[in-house]
Structure 1
Amino acid sequence: MKTTPLTCEKCFADFKESLDELEDIIKSAKSHDLDEKSQKRVIRSFEITHELALKTIGEYFKKMGRNNHLGPRDTTVEAFNEDLIDDGKAWLDMIIDRIKYDPLYPEDFQRDLTGNIIRKYFNSFLNFERKLKEKMD
């Protein structure tokens, strides 16, 4: 089976599709009580969207001739330095919150993470989408 190589454009399209899905889930969650099942749906969609954003940033750097493989934190810092993201702290907080949400930690963090996603991380994704689109045009 032949696989299509990843490109920045393909990763960006996947990210945008995931972002649209996250938006739909957030709108649905806002119109209903945020029960545990709804919170898990928001978080799962957020995690996928965040991973796709990081993959898109990595492919963007490859396209620009910077072929170094960075972890999420370093990728985030580089994206901030390259003006792909405008709120570096929020993006670093995403990484920290995803670590805190790990089931290995006994703390009940689900409600806090869901609130952060709805209040600030979703808007950070929208700003990234806008900035990368401008750079790619």
Structure 2
Amino acid sequence: MSCISSAACIFCKIIKGEIPSFKLIETKYAYSFLDIEPCSKGHALVIPKYHGAKLHNLPDEYLHDVLPILKKLAIALEYNIDSPEGKSYNILQNNGRLGHQVVDHVHFHLIPKNTEKDGLIVGWPAEKANFDDLSLLHKELLKKLED
């Protein structure tokens, strides 16, 4: 299956072979390759072969191969991780500019975490939830999920 694409999208051009890449795994619905601006050794991308800007824009079948590919890559990268703690990595998928998405084509990063200073550096601004507010949100979401 060829890429359902946008003519201007860099990832669509990579899938079609118009831009070279260090391809790792390709299936009917997805394509993976090494990132050329990596956060750490082994940083890879997995992209669906359907041009959708955000996750909710994709037909479900284009997501079927994503997690199995990420798992295979994580297993393969295990042998390149020198950390005494063993294999550590992040899987990251951003949506929209406020969500730190730069390329408007759904993509997943597999980012090995070999040391404290490489890979993904995360600051998580968590705060205690108000359980009354959380309960209202829960009910609202369940209603939307039923529709």
Do the two structures share a fold, i.e. TM-score over 0.5? no
TM-score of the superposed pair, with normalisation by structure 1: 0.30
Of structures 1 and 2, the one scoring higher in RCO (CA 8 A, sep 6+) is 1
Larger Rg belongs to:
2
Richer in strand (by share): 2
Richer in helix (by share): 1
